[in-house]
């Protein structure tokens, strides 16, 4: 059973850099994620409503804890324009102890929403 302070990485994407930056800023400011990495735009190919489509998207990688995961997913989903945005969490099984402790400190308790 996961503990509230276990670290998870959450992956998502945004349709453009401006929205990716906005989402990242808000979730870090609210203490829902300790850090968000934004990647270079990439092409995503997927099936949507029976049609194969492609779109350029900006990948986002959020570092948070199990205890903040639900609120983070809600925040990303609320800010996202897609009907079904990609938001997936992957458990972190190890890493540099000081970094993992920093993630826990940054997300402990969170901050009030803006």
Rounded CA gap, 57 and 104, in Å? 29
Tens-place pLDDT, residues 54-84: 999 999 999 999 999 999 999 999 999 999 9
Q: Are the C-beta atoms of 45 and 33 separated by less than 8 Å?
A: no
Rounded CA gap, 59 and 72, in Å? 16
Tens-place pLDDT, residues 5-24: 999 999 999 999 999 999 99
Fold annotation for 7-107: Alpha-Beta Plaits (3.30.70)
Q: Where are the alpha helices (DSSP H) in 6-91?
A: 17-29, 66-79
Residue ranges per structural domain of the chain = 7-107
């Amino acid at each position: 059973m996961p503990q509230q302070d276990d670290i998870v990485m959450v992956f998502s994407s945004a349709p453009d850099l401006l929205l990716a930056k906005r989402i990242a800023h808000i979730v870090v400011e609210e203490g829902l994620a300790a850090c968000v990495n934004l990647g270079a735009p990439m092409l995503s190919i997927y099936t949507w409503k029976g049609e194969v489509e492609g779109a350029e998207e900006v990948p986002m990688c959020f570092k948070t804890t199990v205890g903040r995961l639900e609120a983070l997913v809600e925040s990303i989903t609320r800010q996202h324009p897609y009907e079904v945005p990609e938001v997936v969490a992957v458990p972190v099984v190890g890493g540099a102890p000081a970094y993992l402790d920093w993630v826990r400190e940054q997300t402990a308790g969170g901050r009030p929403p803006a």
